[in-house]
Amino acid sequence: SFDSQTKENMTLQPKSFGSKCQLSEKFFKAASNCGIVESILNWVKFKAQTQLNKKCSSVKHSKIKGIPKLDDANDAGGKHSLDCTLILTEGDSAKSLAVSGLGVIGRDRYG
């Protein structure tokens, strides 16, 4: 059994598997000599670098992505970004109150 739908962590104890896999020293030597370990490590490094490049792009973006519950001002990240104000709230109910107030004063300079 697993701890979530994504099946990343198995919670079943090894003694409950029903069988045991014993790999020989010959198998380990063959696996390390065939280059598969290096290929996997290179792939992992490539994936990590790709993720890092996505987060740290040298291209200037006007909108921030990936921050949950962020409702940015319309002018944030643009030429009027110095005039913008970020409103921080504690909790969803306080956020909904602030967002309803933004409906009155506008979303251009407040987020």
- What's the per-residue H, E or C state across the chain? CECCCCCCCECCCHHHCCCCCCCCHHHHHHHHHCCHHHHHHHHHHHHHHHHHHHHCCCCCCCCCCCCCCCCCCCCCCCCCHHHCECCCCCCHHHHHHHHHHHHHHCCCCEC
Which of the two residues, 49 and 54, has the higher pLDDT score? Answer: 49
Residues 88 and 55 in one domain: no
Q: How confident is the model at residue 41 (pLDDT cuts 50, 70, 90)?
A: very high
This prediction's pTM:
0.43
- Report pLDDT digits (tens) over 53-89: 777 766 666 677 778 888 888 888 888 888 999 889 8
Is there a domain that residue 16 lies in? no
Is there a domain that residue 9 lies in? no
Domain hosting 104: range is 60-110
Is there a domain that residue 69 lies in? yes
The tally of domains found in the chain comes to: 2
Orientation angle between helical segments 36-55 and 25-33, nearest 10 degrees:
60
